[in-house]
Amino acid sequence: MHYHILDKESLGERLSGNLEEYPHGIVIPLDKPYGWTSADAVRKIKFMAQRHFRLKNIKVGHAGTLDPLATGILLICLGKATKVAERLQAGEKGYIAEITFGSTTPSFDLEKEIDAYFPFEHINQNLIEEKLNGFLGEQDQIPPIFSAKLIDGKRAYEIARAGGNEEMKASRINIMELEVISYSAPVLMLRVRCSKGTYIRSLARDLGSALGSGAHLSGLTRISSGDFSIKNSVKIEEIERILKQNLELSV
């Protein structure tokens, strides 16, 4: 299916106000803003697309959830491109992760406050690289309770926020690459290439434990999703600007 891609290269093009001129739909590699849920991004783009295409009922979805406290590529699918969302979601992912040693949180990131402190003075880059080797390849990973995983039809984060503490089932994942970008105690910058369904928050938790400390994810950017790169992604303001321009030109 040859869907139209609305990325940085095509932002200067005239986007037709007729969705039928894009018979296979449109895919937008969005650079998701910090603090937005994936659902927030879908709602915002759906509203803009409804105005632009003058359609009340327009299908809009995303290919792979990105946590609210993460930024980077979130693939937004419009029209018939929603049919390929599952295939797009299956692509491998790339991330730049900031992991802070010496403390943990219930959500494994900054959504929740620190709940415990651990020593980290013994951690150095050589030790980190040694332990990272054990996280490469196919493995079972326990997702965070604060996640979009379904438990008996409910999202895990809904159960967690209501005070529940359900046991999470392990998922089979694959981590293909782990590269230390820098380490300045207690903060590690790490490049990750992995399969869909991999939780970098869980990797942070497990790495902290493997190093005889604790850890949480203090920052995350998704830099690639399948064939899409952050270098050619677009910000919500850029999409809003081009759709508004085209709307004004069509009046």
Q: To which CATH superfamily is domain 93-225 assigned?
A: Pseudouridine synthase (3.30.2350.10)
Name every residue whose Cβ is closer than 8 Å to that of residue 99 and which is 6 or more positions away in sequence: 187, 188, 190, 204, 207, 208, 215, 216, 217, 218
Contact 65, 93 (CB under 8 A): no
Give the side-chain half-sphere CA count within 13 A for 149. Answer: 19
Task: Indicate which residues carry an active-site annotation.
Answer: 67
What confidence score (pLDDT) does residue 251 get? 42
What confidence score (pLDDT) does residue 92 get? 97
Please confirm whether the linkage preceding 186 is cis (ω < 30° from 0): yes
Contact 171, 165 (CB under 8 A): no
Mean pLDDT of the chain: 91
Both tokens of 125, joined, read: 């880059």
| Domain boundaries defined on the chain | 4-90+229-250, 93-225
The alpha carbon of residue 173 and the mean position of all alpha carbons in its chain are separated, in whole angstroms, by 16
What confidence score (pLDDT) does residue 247 get? 53
Contact 50, 11 (CB under 8 A): no
What confidence score (pLDDT) does residue 16 get? 86
pLDDT confidence bin for 249, thresholds 50/70/90: very low
Q: Which of 197-206, 220-229, 242-251 has the lowest mean pLDDT?
A: 242-251
Q: Indicate if the pLDDT at residue 210 is higher than 90.
A: yes
Q: Indicate if the pLDDT at residue 52 is higher than 60.
A: yes
Q: Indicate if the pLDDT at residue 197 is higher than 90.
A: yes
User: What tens digit of pLDDT does each residue of 142-169 get?
Assistant: 988 877 777 667 777 676 676 767 778 8
**Tokens 């969705």 belong to residue:** 19
User: What tens digit of pLDDT does each residue of 73-93 get?
Assistant: 999 999 999 999 999 999 999
